[in-house]
Amino acid sequence: MAKKIMVSRGAIPSEDAIDALVPQLSPTRKLKGKTLSKSETELRSEARTKLTSRMAAKLVPRYSLYALRHSWATRALQSGTDSLTVAILMGHSDPSTLARVYQHLSHNPEHLLDQAKKAAG
C-alpha cells in the first residue's frame, strides 16, 4: 500500500542515496552453504529495496491490532455494555480475564458514577 502511495507521489529513492548505501551492504551472500559474491546489479537492487522499504514505513502509520481491540473493549464498557457481553464478543473463555485487563476503568470516577447511576435506576 505504501509503495503505491510513493509511486503516486513520485517519491522514489534517489540514485545518490542508492550509491551511498551500496558500500554499507554485505558484498556476499550464502546459497546452499556456499558464499557467493553479489554483482553490482544485485547490490544496487538490494539498496533500492531497502531504501524503498524505509521510505514506505515513514509514509504509513503503524497499527496494533491489540490496541484496536483494547480500545473497542474500553469504549464498549464505558458506553454501558455489560462486561459479560464484552467478554463473549472478545472471545474470552473466562470473563474474569476481562475484569483483570480492564480494571483500570474502576479507577475512573466518571465511569464509576455512570455505573452507579445505572445500578440505581
pLDDT tens digits for the chain (121 residues)? 567 777 777 778 888 989 999 999 999 989 899 999 999 999 999 999 999 888 888 777 777 888 888 889 888 888 888 888 888 898 888 888 887 777 777 677 776 677 677 767 6
Say whether pTM exceeds 0.85.
no
| Model pLDDT, residue 38 | 93
Instruction: Please give the backbone phi and psi of residue 28, each rounded to the nearest 5 degrees, phi first.
Output: -125, 165
What does the pLDDT read at residue 114? 74
39, 59, 79 - which closes a domain: 59
What is the pLDDT, as a whole number, of residue 119? 67
Residues 12 and 53 in one domain: yes
Range of the structural domain that residue 12 is part of: 2-59
Task: Quote the CA–CA distance of 110 and 119 in Å, as a whole number.
Answer: 14
- Composition of the chain by helix, strand, coil, percent to 5: 70, 5, 25
One domain, residues 51 and 93: no
Are 51 and 17 a contacting pair, CB within 8 Å? yes
Are 77 and 95 members of one domain? Answer: yes
Number of domains in the chain: 2
CB atoms within 10 A of CB 32: 5
Measuring CA to CA, which residue among 47, 46, 27, 48 is closest to residue 38?
Answer: 27
pLDDT given for residue 59 in this prediction: 76
Query: What is the C-alpha radius of gyration for the chain, rounded to an integer number of angstroms?
Result: 26
Return the pLDDT at 46. Answer: 94
